[in-house]
Amino acid sequence: MPILQHGIPQKLSRNSLARASKASRSTRHLFTQSTPAQRTPIRTGLYTTAFVLSAGVFAVYYFDARSALHRYILTPILRNAFDVETGHKIAVKALKSGLAPRDPVGDDERLKSRIWGEAVSNPIGLAAGFDKDGEAIDGLFDLGFSWVEIGSVTPNPQPGNPRPRMFRLDEDNAVINRYGFPSQGHSSVLSRIRARIPNFFSRPPERAALREGAVLAVNLGKNKESPADSIDDFVSGVRAFGPFADVLVVNVSSPNTPGLRGLQNRDVLEKLLAGVTKARDDLEPSVLTSRKPKIVLKIAPDLEESQIIDMAEVIRNSKIDGVIVSNTTIQRPKTLINSNKTEMGGLSGPPVKPFSLKALQSLRANLPASIPLIGCGGIVTGKDALDYAKAGATMVQVYTGFGYDGVGACRRIKDQLIDELKKEGRTWEQVVNEAVEKLSWTEPEPVKKGEASIKQLIEEAEELKSMLDKLGDRMET
């Protein structure tokens, strides 16, 4: 409708329209953006380069297991944001994914060792319990471990004990677990091991680890419903995994399976070792490595001295290849601080080291040098590892320290161990060889005929003399 029809003067209306138009333009400038400056190819290139460099630096930092990012940020977040078992599962999945960090440093010559005459690049292994179902074998080797042990694996799948079943003792850097051998069973784990084997090799692998200077071990467990004194589950494990493992570990030391530790008793142990070594000897050489696996026994740290002596005699008379000393302990040192110390289960971490080291020393004194010992229990530093070497352990294994310290734990222990060896001016192999030669059991020299009777007469004469002296003293009083 024309403005003049409302009685508004034409000049006034024109001025009003001009002011309104100016105000509108001001508003647009205040609340809307002007057309952005055109991005030049040079500017785009600089932004792209900065982004690529930043991403590259982060990737290098992330994929290096030594990075503080893992030790002080990611690992604590994982530990505090989730319950202990969930955090454990996430860590396994991450290592399985192929996107996990790696140890980028080659092993120092001082760390080289030999077990069963075979070279290993370093003496630091990972104990069973972390990768129970063989999901992250290669991810764990990438962290620098020379021995990766999966399991325990039971013949049939079983869920293990009810949750919660794993407890952190943060102030003690320890863990108590009562997992009870949760396992997906032989078939599932075996399929994973076979899946990692390439279809074609440039040359046949010397080891089932598929890596030079490394060992793949499978820890064999026992189903909960199996008869307590039966060895069938272990024999079944030898037959199933023998062709695909460098080492098979017979685990009779977990405190969380009823009756399992009873297999450490002399009579049952003789039957067990005879059964598993016969099953191994009956295997055809592996189509993968052209070898048969070594058989290793894993024992508890809670054995009495007399039990260790009996066990050592059984081992000497068997065809067993080595012993891992030891598993978790049911003992509770008075030094424990965390309230979870009252939980049932096996204790691992630094508090178990004195028990494990003592058991290893006792066993070393009762076994010949030809049977190597692998030390396990409370190893979190290079000095801890060296303490086991000086007690006669050929290699060592870590577990709880790895959980607390993160993916860089293996590299840090190796670096610390190198420093310790430099101080002593020796290599790992020199320390081990010296200890094993000095501390190992040796076969007593056979007594020649006639010497036994003379020795016996001397002992009887000394005993008679002692009795006469005591009788004389009584008569004088």
- Residue 373 in contact with residue 362, Cβ under 8 Å? no
Number of H helices, E strands in the chain: 16, 13
**Helix, strand, or coil (residue 244):** helix
Give pLDDT tens digits for 206-228.
899 999 999 999 999 999 999 98
The yes-or-no verdict on residue 473 having pLDDT over 90 is: no
The full set of domain ranges for the chain reads 107-439
- Residue 257 in contact with residue 180, Cβ under 8 Å? yes
Q: Which residue has the tokens 């030809």?
A: 370
Q: What is the pLDDT of residue 3?
A: 40
**Mean pLDDT, residues 143-168 taken together:** 97
Give me the amino acid identity at 210. L
Backbone torsion region of residue 160, taken as left when φ is above 0, otherwise alpha when ψ lies between -120 and 50, otherwise beta: left
Which of the four CATH numbers 3.90.180.10, 3.40.50.880, 3.40.50.12140, 3.20.20.70 does domain 107-439 have? 3.20.20.70
Diameter of the chain by CA atoms?
Answer: 155
Q: For residue 288, how many C-alpha atoms fall within 13 Å in the half-sphere facing its CB?
A: 21
Phi, psi for residue 317 in degrees, rounded to 5: -90, 5
**Residue of 152, 183, 254, 318 marked active site:** 254
Average pLDDT, the chain: 88
Confidence of residue 470 (pLDDT cuts 50, 70, 90): low
Give the ranges where 220-304 is alpha helix by DSSP (H). Answer: 232-241, 266-281
- In degrees, rounded to 5, the angle at the alpha carbon of residue 351 between the alpha carbons of residues 341 and 328 is 80
Residue among 121, 124, 117 nearest 395 (CA): 124
Give pLDDT tens digits for 195-206.
999 988 778 888
Query: Does 466 participate in catalysis according to the annotation?
Result: no
The yes-or-no verdict on residue 464 having pLDDT over 90 is: no
- Residue 181 in contact with residue 328, Cβ under 8 Å? no
Q: Which tops the pLDDT comparison, 207 or 24?
A: 207
Peptide bond into 326 cis (omega under 30): yes
Give pLDDT tens digits for 315-366.
999 999 999 999 999 999 999 999 999 999 999 999 999 999 999 999 999 9
Q: Residue 392 and residue 361: Cα distance in Å, rounded?
A: 7
Phi, psi for residue 183 in degrees, rounded to 5: -155, 145
Q: What is the pLDDT of residue 204?
A: 80
Q: What is the pLDDT of residue 107?
A: 97
Q: Residue 24 and residue 225: Cα distance in Å, rounded?
A: 85
Give pLDDT tens digits for 248-275.
999 999 998 888 888 898 989 999 999 9
Q: Which two tokens stand for residue 48?
A: 């792209």
